[in-house]
Amino acid sequence: MLDAASVPGAYAPDAGGGSIEGLTLAPSTYALDRYESLEGMRVQVTNARVVGATTPYAELFVTAKPAENPSPRGGTVYGSYTSQNTGRVKVESLLTTAFPVADVGDVLSTATGPLDYDIVHVNAEFADQTSDHDPQVVRLQP
């Protein structure tokens, strides 16, 4: 579950102007490290406020932290490079079926899928929830 309790408040460590690549991961301290530690794992966001409307490419942005920098219209205010929105997650579709059409301020009830992390976006991709196998449940540890 990605939510305000599971995503740290600090976005990334300060590398003094250098690269953070060589630093030890600290997933309980930094949001980027938390997302990187969950890469490839099935995650879920529930009751997530939409902060970036559905695009023609079947993607939208939500926040796992609804109280983090909300705008009057329901989006998320970007503070600065040093004040990132740690809960912002891009949701994409792995399915060929209809993708939800949502606008800023709407609420996405549930998105579940594998987390794909890169330096630009954290992606939670919708996956087919029907299967002949029982789903494997992984609990996030603080």
pLDDT of residue 65: 92
Task: Indicate the residue type of 29.
Answer: T
| Mean pLDDT (the chain, rounded) | 79
pLDDT digits (tens, 9 = 90+) for 88-116: 888 887 666 677 888 899 888 888 888 88
How confident is the model at residue 28, as a pLDDT?
95
Contact 113, 43 (CB under 8 A): yes
Whole-number pLDDT of residue 94 = 67
Per residue in 104-126, is it b (16+ CB within 10 Å) or e — as a string? Answer: bebebeebbbbbbbeeeebbbbb
| Percent of the chain whose predicted confidence (pLDDT) is above 70 | 79
CATH number of 31-126: 2.40.50
| Domain positions in the chain | 31-126
Q: What is the pLDDT of residue 124?
A: 52
Q: What is the 3-state secondary structure (H, E, C) of 91-135?
A: EEECCCCCCCCCCCCCEEEEEEEEEEECCCCEEEEECCCCCCCCC
- In the block, residue with structure tokens 């594998």: 114
The whole-number pLDDT of residue 136 equals 40
* 85 DSSP assignment: -
